[in-house]
Chains A and B, each alone.
Chain A
Amino acid sequence: MNAYAAPQFADIETYLDSQLKKSLLRFITCGSVDDGKSTLIGRLLYESKMIFDDQLASLKNESKKFGTQGEEIDFALLVDGLAAEREQGITIDVAYRFFSTDRRKFIVADTPGHEQYTRNMATGASTADLAIVMIDARKGVLTQTRRHSFIVSLLGIKHVVLCINKMDLVDYDKAVYDKILKDYRDFAADFGFESVQAIPVSALAGDNVVTNSDRTPWYDGPPLMEYLDTVEIRAEDQDKAFRMPVQWVSRPNLDFRGFAGQIVSGRIRPGESVRALPSGRSSKVASIVSYSGDLDEGVEGQSITLTLEDEIDISRGDVLCADQAPAEVSDQFQSTILWMSDSAMLPGRSYVMKIGARECQMQVTEQRYRVDVNTRAHEAAKTLNLNEIGVCNIALDREIAFDAYGDNRRMGGFIIIDRMTNETVGMGLINFALRRASNIHRQSLDVSKELRASMKGQKPVILWFTGLSGAGKSTVANIVEKRLAAMGKHTYTLDGDNVRHGLNHDLGFTDADRVENIRRVGEVSKLMVDAGLIVLVSFISPFRAERRIVRQMVEDGEFWEVFVDAPLEVAESRDVKGLYKKARAGEIKNFTGIDSPYEAPLEPEVHLETDKLSPEDGADRVIAMLQQAGVLSS
């Protein structure tokens, strides 16, 4: 008889109400092939009255046919589910089992010990609060024990039960138990486990599973079932900052707009401020809606629907965070990846990443090293094969909200999906973001580009003057800026003098540097447009591709290309700064028009032929064009 049978209760209602207050504990069992995991789980189910008579009858039947215990019941057959496994006598996949006591309901992930199934162990560990590591008392700490414990710690499990099994086969010898415990503590010292509880058991004979065994009088700890029933798993996720990936935007009618998701950490109450990431917009929680009425509070683990006080744009995949302690945002990370597919992971290939409720494209940009799961040694390797673990840099096609996996499992864990086969080919843990600039929270302020522009009474644009050196770009731009200033417009001019000497003083005149030069000028222009300014850019900018890139950085109608066109001989004859002479003499390399090409615009908004037009007439043409297009009022 055992202590966990259905209890005697005064009346069913009292009993039921106590049953409804049970907590939930998820754990995994890991160990090598013959360590006796399935037998142990089978016994836990049996002892907690989870095995019914008909199942027991069929178990006895099958024990005779497939069992390894002669006439005895083979508990392993209870949990080895698939027909193929029953025949081979090994567990080949993750199986989930359930049992409960008066205090707790347990979900057990039974994970296989075979080397090729490391991925299944990681799968089981990903949702577990605690791990039972099985050790065969006759064999002690093995390579597999190290591997399993490493994966358990990698996946962030803090509590380990070291089940030293088959004590019956070592005569319940305390010295064997002590040595294994010491060996284990030695190598697991830096795994970050908060607790390691060692228990000497015999799953087969039932020693120290439900009740303390007479055969181990030297053991003064709790039996396994009692330990599982009472171990304190701190609900630390509830104390972390609020995070909720938005799964579903609920819009049943025009008056209701709710954001549904499961709270992965923290708690939230109506009136509290939240921030949507990656957009950075903030609002306050108006209500927490549920089927049985509005809630006063939502906590980690609950699936809820929130409404907000302001109408801000939030869609599936965004993350709602505590406004005062938001998650980070980035698109480049260092991560630890466990590969789960027969086809190797290839840096450079495009995969799909799913994190929270968001899917995006990802690439491994660089694999830094591979980790030997047995020794934890770092090895040089460019790819990852099935069941291999590596540390890789990854880049995404968009920014996402995240926390490091070590801080928040559900904000830092992701899966990798093959784009062609749709198979889940890997799992990853975000270690940290690589782009520091992106860690700065992008303040999404209510003062918008539109507001800044309207305060200045203008439409912000970029006037991009391109042409050969000496074509007259700066001269025309200078006149245009004066006319705009006279009209009360807010302007700024970027040209070689104020950019190349400061922001871009590190750049030369190679093709690569010219590209970077224009990219930076483009980014600065874009910020100025956002600030509401009319920006005049006066750069040779010889390549079409870079000018097109700048055009694409800003919104339609914000980029105006002014081709300041003078034939080379005209420009060269002007030679205000004496540069052509030096270039011809070979003193300056890569000079546009001489030994570096100029790609004339194909469809500029304005084409000024400065050998035929005066600078004033050219400026008039630019102003007239802006008036015609409605950028300036006429």
Chain B
Amino acid sequence: MTQLTHLDRLEAESIHILREVAASMQNPVMMYSIGKDSSVLLHLARKAFHPGPIPFPLLHVDTTWKFSEMIAFRDVLKDDPQTDLLVHINQEGVDQGIGPFTHGSALHTDVMKTQALKQALDKYKFDAAIGGARRDEEKSRAKERIFSFRSAQHRWDPKNQRPELWSLYNTRIKPGESVRVFPISNWTELDIWQYIYQENIEIVPLYFAAERPVVERDGILVMVDDDRLPLEPGEEPMMKTVRFRTLGCYPLTGAVESTASTITEIIEEMLRTTTSEREGRAIDKDAPASMEMKKQEGYF
């Protein structure tokens, strides 16, 4: 007699959601951020539609400040004939020279990520964007629906969300409106790692510990990924054995000192850790409700 484990049930729920998107939306897209959650989402999509191909494209919004190892990992997928991967860069932002060092993390994220995402959704007229956000990541996400409605201006209204009952999702929208869909809403970080272990899913090597050049700033270890990182007077990159718990723009993502170089070692480390994975992200620290505000403005 088959008994389903919690991962079996989470997987089945996610696959059900992915199929609902494909069956009921006109022009869906899957956001691909190159991180571990994206790797899991991609794996789930392959499972959902097997033996057919994934019936929607993937979209990577490239801020031009991603780790080079992330881009290399992405480009392998780009060459996969089974996968349709689109890459979008906010060219206006590039022309204006927007970057985290010259303009600050908030403006950089707004222009190169939030605005870029809206541009891409408008350009391709996607009516559903599938993302890898999880409810355990951050407080305002805990209340977001799995099918999260967005106005024609891409705004989220947390007080006017559609109730979600059973596994029945209201997928109806008017022209110009869209939905964000979060198939792994009910997964936790630990679930993600256990699933990567169980399914043997490939992830970016940055998650594994290795010797990397870093500088320490405001208590955060920033990796010197390329020569765009302006070194402050007296600052000297040092080689440390580090890894990343989350991945984003390299200047905004802190490394942690670790020797965990396999999935099992990562999970072991995680079970003993005492800080949340978003701690290394600069974006959450601006103000208590900063993520909620960014989401209302259209940040994923």
Name A residues whose Cβ lies closer than 8 Å to a Cβ of B.
6, 12-13, 16, 19-24, 52-55, 58, 62, 78-79, 81-84, 86, 92-98, 100, 104-105, 107, 119-120, 122-123, 126-127, 235, 247-248, 250-252, 256, 258, 260-262, 267, 289-291, 297, 299, 301-303, 305, 316, 340, 352, 354-355, 357, 409-410, 413-415, 417, 422-424, 427
- A sample of 16 more A-B contacts (CB under 8 A), given A86-B289, A123-B163, A424-B165, is A16-B264, A20-B198, A24-B9, A83-B140, A96-B135, A96-B143, A98-B136, A105-B191, A126-B165, A252-B52, A261-B19, A290-B47, A303-B19, A354-B168, A357-B23, A414-B168
- Interface hits, B243-300 → A, CB 8 Å: 264-265, 267-268, 271-276, 279, 288-289, 292
B50-A290 in contact (CB<8A): yes
CB-CB < 8 A to B168: which residues of A?
Answer: 354-355, 413-415
CB-CB < 8 A to B76: which residues of A?
Answer: none
CB-CB < 8 A to B272: which residues of A?
Answer: 6
A302-B8 in contact (CB<8A): yes
Given the contacts A20-B7, A422-B173, A54 and B50 also touching, CB distance less than 8 Å = no
The docked-state distance in angstroms from the alpha carbon of A417 to that of B174 is: 13
B135-A289 in contact (CB<8A): no
Q: How far is the CB of B30 from chain A (nearest CB, A)?
A: 16
CB-CB < 8 A to B172: which residues of A?
Answer: 352, 417, 422
The docked-state distance in angstroms from the alpha carbon of A68 to that of B47 is: 48
Name B residues whose Cβ lies closer than 8 Å to a Cβ of A.
1-13, 15-16, 19-20, 22-23, 46-53, 135-136, 139-140, 142-143, 158-159, 161-168, 170, 172-174, 185-186, 188, 190-191, 194, 197-198, 264-265, 267-268, 271-276, 279, 288-289, 292
The docked-state distance in angstroms from the alpha carbon of A469 to that of B210 is: 99
B170-A424 in contact (CB<8A): yes
Q: How far is the CB of A276 from chain B (nearest CB, A)?
A: 17
Across chains A and B, the number of contacting residue pairs, with CB separation under 8 Å, is: 195
A122-B142 in contact (CB<8A): no
Q: How far is the CB of B288 from chain A (nearest CB, A)?
A: 6
The docked-state distance in angstroms from the alpha carbon of A100 to that of B6 is: 10
**Interface-central residue, B9, B19, B190, by most chain A CB under 10 Å:** B19
Contact of A316 among B23, B159, B163 (CB under 8 A): B23
30 A-B pairs (CB sep. < 8 Å)? A12-B264, A12-B265, A16-B267, A20-B194, A20-B198, A22-B7, A52-B274, A54-B279, A81-B143, A84-B158, A86-B288, A86-B289, A94-B143, A95-B142, A100-B190, A107-B186, A120-B163, A122-B163, A247-B19, A258-B51, A260-B48, A262-B16, A289-B51, A291-B46, A291-B50, A303-B13, A303-B19, A410-B166, A413-B166, A424-B165
Interface of A, secondary structure class, is mixed
Contact of B52 among A21, A55, A251, A413 (CB under 8 A): A251
Contact of B271 among A6, A251, A423 (CB under 8 A): A6
CB-CB < 8 A to B173: which residues of A?
Answer: 422
B143-A301 in contact (CB<8A): no
CB-CB < 8 A to B20: which residues of A?
Answer: 247, 357
